[in-house]
Amino acid sequence: MQTNNLLMPGLAALATLLQGCGGPESSSTNGPGGGAVPTNRIHIYLTVESTDLRTAVVRANLNDGRALSTSYRLDGGDFLRACVSGVCRSMADNDSVFTPDYIARFDYLSGVDYVVSFNRQESQNAPDSRVTLPPAFSIVTPVNRQPVTDGDTVLVSWAPAGAPAHVELSYEAECTFVSGLQSSSTGTLSSDDNADGRESVRIDPIVDFARTNILSPVTRCNIDVTVRHELDGRIDPAFDDGIATGIVSREVRLEYVPR
């Protein structure tokens, strides 16, 4: 999957306006008869993610599970709490007008469970959603800010390789054009299905996609390649459904200039 955006204030404002159509609902008053939303009708999207050796961010969103989902803002005594290795913290609302996430920060620990509990006044508790982080890893090649140009293929390698975690590579490119316009694009590159800790990344498709909406020549691009190691977690069965994922990610920047 790839997405491409011109970095223009008008389009950014439009995207914000569209996002604002339909805000979150109350967890304690939007259920049947104006009461609490039953826990068995709620989906949870839970991630524990670390981008360095120091911090792990626990993030949860509660929603109705539909394709264009409506999120729930916790009120009426409902709250989320996260614990790891005996340290517990209440998860704080990020104050988003549109899709409230609940966040807590801990030290990075691999091989142990980060446990998230959903605590309620007027409906069933869901005390035992669990996520384990994969081990830390480092990108070996390429070096950060390695120059690249047309026709190049870059070997991205990391150690340790990551198995049994699922490994995916993605990119984000920001390109500047002779006209002065800028364009950003994001996309998935590949999965390390053979778990050998290396994948080849072609530069041409990334740059070609970034300039699909602009006729002006590219002057330069910053291409951030991200390697993500992911482990599936466990959702408390009191929820209707959800996703729980432990993620350790590392990023390296490539600096593209045309030939």
State how far Cα 39 lies from the chain centre: 24
Tell me the three-class secondary structure of 159-181, residue by residue: ECCCCCCEEEEEEEEEEEECCCC
Residue written as token pair 């039953």: 38
Residue type, 89: R
- 135 CB neighbour count, 10 Å cutoff: 12
Same topology between domain 2-8+135-256 and domain 20-132: yes
Q: What pLDDT is recorded for position 17?
A: 38
**Domain 20-132 of CATH type 3.40.50:** no
Q: How far apart are alpha carbons 117 and 136 in whole angstroms?
A: 26
pLDDT tens, position by position, 115-153: 999 999 999 999 999 999 999 999 999 999 999 999 999
What is the residue extent of each domain of the chain?
A: 2-8+135-256, 20-132
- Token representation of residue 44: 């949870």
For residue 215, what pLDDT is reported? 80
Q: What is the pTM of this model?
A: 0.87
Taking Cα atoms as reference points, which of 229, 223, 63 lies closest to residue 133? 229
pLDDT exceeds cutoff 60 at 13: no
**What pLDDT score does 1 carry?**
67
The answer to whether residue 248 scores a pLDDT higher than 80 is yes
Residue range 167-218, pLDDT digits in tens = 999 999 999 999 999 999 999 999 999 999 999 999 999 998 877 767 889 9
Closest by CA position to 49, among listed 222, 148, 220, 165: 165
**What integer pLDDT is reported at residue 5 of this predicted model?**
66
Rounded to an integer, what distance in angstroms lies between the CA atom of residue 173 and that of residue 42?
Answer: 36
CATH of domain 2-8+135-256: 2.60.40
pLDDT above 90 (res 226):
yes
Asked if 116 and 47 count as a contact pair (C-beta separation under 8 A), the reply is no
3-state SS of 120-153 is CCCCCCEEEEEEECCCCCEEEECCCCEEECCCCE
